[in-house]
């Protein structure tokens, strides 16, 4: 539906990677539906996968998602997110950490 597919991974204190549950991503997307129009062009599609339009700034997306996930209690203080674009061939592209 949107031009870009993004991988949204939770990175734990040991460096382990797990896809963020779609419920978390959906919660963020719905909250931002009314509070920050820059993120309106997003669509959660699966665990760890978010589709986004070209006007969604990735450099703002990761910190905004981290902040929201921390406030909801999804992320522990020693955890972080990694957001990266998934290339058309299915490989991860540029990571924002």
Residue 83's DSSP bridge partners are 8, 96
Dump pLDDT digits (tens) for 49-95.
Answer: 999 999 899 999 999 999 999 999 999 999 999 999 998 755 565 55
Once rounded to an integer, what is the mean pLDDT over residues 6-26?
Answer: 97
**pTM, two decimal places:** 0.83
Upper half-sphere CA count for residue 67 (Cβ side, 13 Å): 7
């Amino acid at each position: 539906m949107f031009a870009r597919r993004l991988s949204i991974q939770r990175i734990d204190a040991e460096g382990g990677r797990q896809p963020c549950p779609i419920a978390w991503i959906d919660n963020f997307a719905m909250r931002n539906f009314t509070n920050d129009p820059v993120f309106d062009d997003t669509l959660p599609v699966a665990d760890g996968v978010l589709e986004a339009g070209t006007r969604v700034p990735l450099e703002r997306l990761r910190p905004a998602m981290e902040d929201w996930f921390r406030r909801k209690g999804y992320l522990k203080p020693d955890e972080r997110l990694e957001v990266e674009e998934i290339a058309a061939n299915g490989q991860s592209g540029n990571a924002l950490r």
